[in-house]
Amino acid sequence: MSLQEEKERWERETLKPLLDRFPERKKDFYTTSGILLPRFLLPLDNDIAYLEKLGFPGEYPYTRGVQPTMYRGRLWTMRQYAGYASAEESNRRYRYLLEQGQTGLSVAFDLPTQIGYDADDPLALGEVGKVGVSISSLDDMQMLFRDIPLDKVSTSMTINAPAAILLAMYIAVAKKQGVEISKLNGTIQNDILKEYIARGTYIFPPKPSMRLITDVFQYCQEEVPHWNTISISGYHIREAGSTAVQEVAFTLANGIAYVQAALDAGLDVDKFARQLSFFFNAHNDFLEEIAKFRAARRLWARIMRERFGAQKQRSWMLRFHTQTAGSTLTAQQPENNVVRVTLQALAAVLGGTQSLHTNSMDEALWLPTEKSVRVALRTQQIIAYESGVADTVDPLGGSYLIEHLTDEIEKRAQAYIDRIDELGGALAAIEQGYLQREIQDAAYSYQRAIEHGDQVVVGVNVYQQDKQIELEQLKMDPTIEANQHQHLASIRQRRDARRVTELLTHLESAAKGGNNLLPLFVTCVENDITLGEICGVLRNVWGEYQPPNWI
């Protein structure tokens, strides 16, 4: 087949059905000089073999993007990760961001919530509302989304160990709003393996944790079909110090483990795979980051089709959210962080992300203010509407350097995946400390390079200045913890104590069995059973994870 015939086939089979379905995507884009931008470019040397390797946009292996038109028809979802203090305070921030043009919500939970403790638990002392919003009850979740119709907004929740319980709360809020849960759209992170590797907010041992994840897969496949059941996260692996290659390899290795666990639970790969999503970091090495995203898509497509035998195109697609790199932000000269974030966000867009969070300039110092969050959101909007990079598909595809880097990252990541397979898979590699040691070695090398001046960080090891920049600081409500204590006491006093005891007993029995726990979680939270109480029962049945002493 000639190059022209292959192009005509792509337009007929892949592009035309999409344009017929969404006629607004037929819009043409021009440069400021009036030059028409093609939807995408073919190899200049008429090399059909090269084109077959590169692929077409929206077709296997998706190197050039998961949609034929990418951003020409629909821009990425603009999310700003937010949450602090009380649900009421965070709700105000969410509504402010939506008014500023944000197109999706992204919830940050405080540390007690992330590890399954109520705000009035002694272990939560001093941490309530500090690094995210405090959510202990269905009342809190209702307040968090007050005046935000859940059938009109896409919500991402960064929660892992108790993800199934927070999803149950979200579903219960939707039902109270009169929203059909089949219409809910969003994501829960629900990625416990990276917690064992890089982040540490785990609760339960791996086996019951994986059960909770596959329970979510099964429940959402049937009840909440537009919900992304997991966001397999390389972000925290990169924040812990990994290289770009390690981020791709370890994330996809975790993805392999989740797919295998779902298959072992009797699920059909082509039914649950379409609800898998990924979460990557956008770091400073601009060209490498663009190539990283393209390599990850290509690798995952092959893994799903060749390793797991998935038959449907949707099952082969790696769809991902990106967040700019918090670990690259500096307390010194924080206004420089605006430039760092802009370059990182641009790399994510050129790499084909489906949604994006841009960090605020002051995040190395404290929780971001409304002003700094607005600047971060405007960064995305300027890239989207002023830069022109969203007006053609995969604008850097075909660049000799980009394709070389894409090939190299794919090859090196595959070598890591092969090594992890030899060790028995991601979980076995975690238990042996292999992934942790690789990340620690990479982090140590990077830090040494900064200290020796081989890695330049502007404002830190070069171009320093003594003058301190004055920035506005977010004021935290000092009464948040006491207010949460009072509110929880009120909930426990008003609820049906006999019904609570009955449900907690049922939960204990169900946790020892094998049935899907999601419906019971929904019933529990609807009866004002708190997050900490549910996790407490599960802790008693399953125990808590103790990391192995592999050092």
- Residue 471: CB atoms within 10 Å: 14
Q: Which pair of tokens denotes residue 272?
A: 């649950």
Amino acid letter at 494?
A: R
**Mean of the pLDDT values across residues 237-255?**
97
Nearest C-alpha neighbor of 249 from the set 407, 418, 403? 418
Model-level pTM greater than 0.85? Answer: yes
pLDDT for position 24:
55
Name the pLDDT band for 477 (thresholds 50, 70, 90). confident
CA distances, 495 to each of 143, 491, 531 (Å): 18, 6, 15
- CA dihedral for 244, 250, 253, 254, sign (positive or negative): negative
The tens digit of pLDDT for each residue in 192-222 reads 999 999 999 999 999 999 999 999 999 999 9
Question: What is the pLDDT of the chain when averaged over all its residues?
Answer: 92
In the chain the domains, ranked by start, together with CATH numbers, are 74-79+92-105+135-358+395-451 (3.20.20.240)
Name the phi and psi angles at 510, rounded to 5: -65, -35
CB 426 within 8 A of CB 206: no
Percent of the chain past pLDDT 90, that is, above it, reads 81
The tens digit of pLDDT for each residue in 397-422 reads 988 899 999 999 999 999 999 999 99
Name the pLDDT band for 232 (thresholds 50, 70, 90). very high
Name the pLDDT band for 26 (thresholds 50, 70, 90). low
Answer yes or no: is pLDDT of 25 > 60: no
Name the pLDDT band for 14 (thresholds 50, 70, 90). confident
CB 206 within 8 A of CB 177: no
Answer yes or no: is pLDDT of 12 > 80: yes
CB 57 within 8 A of CB 299: no
The tens digit of pLDDT for each residue in 448-462 reads 999 999 999 999 999
DSSP result, 45-93 = T--HHHHHHH--TTSTT-TT-SSSSGGGTSPPEEEEEE--BSHHHHHHH
- Residue 472: CB atoms within 10 Å: 12
Name the pLDDT band for 147 (thresholds 50, 70, 90). very high
CB 293 within 8 A of CB 253: no
Could you tell me which residues are beta bridge partners of residue 279? 233, 321
Name the pLDDT band for 383 (thresholds 50, 70, 90). very high
pLDDT for position 40:
65
Chain-centroid distance, C-alpha 401? 28
Q: Which pair of tokens denotes residue 36?
A: 């028409």
CB 87 within 8 A of CB 133: yes
Buried b (16+ CB within 10 A) or exposed e, 158-197: bbbbbbbbbbbbbbbbbeeeebebeebbbbbbbbbbbbbb
Range scoring the smallest mean pLDDT among 17-31, 80-94, 165-179, 301-315: 17-31
Nearest C-alpha neighbor of 147 from the set 72, 201, 96, 213? 96
Q: How many residues does the chain have?
A: 551
Helix H or strand E segment including 422:
helix 400-422
User: Rounded to an integer, what distance in angstroms lies between the CA atom of residue 61 and that of residue 294?
Assistant: 10
Answer yes or no: is pLDDT of 549 > 70: yes
Q: Which pair of tokens denotes residue 81?
A: 């990760």
Nearest C-alpha neighbor of 372 from the set 144, 104, 97? 97
Name the phi and psi angles at 389, rounded to 5: -75, -15
**Mean of the pLDDT values across residues 425-440?**
96
Could you tell me which residues are beta bridge partners of residue 157? 107, 188
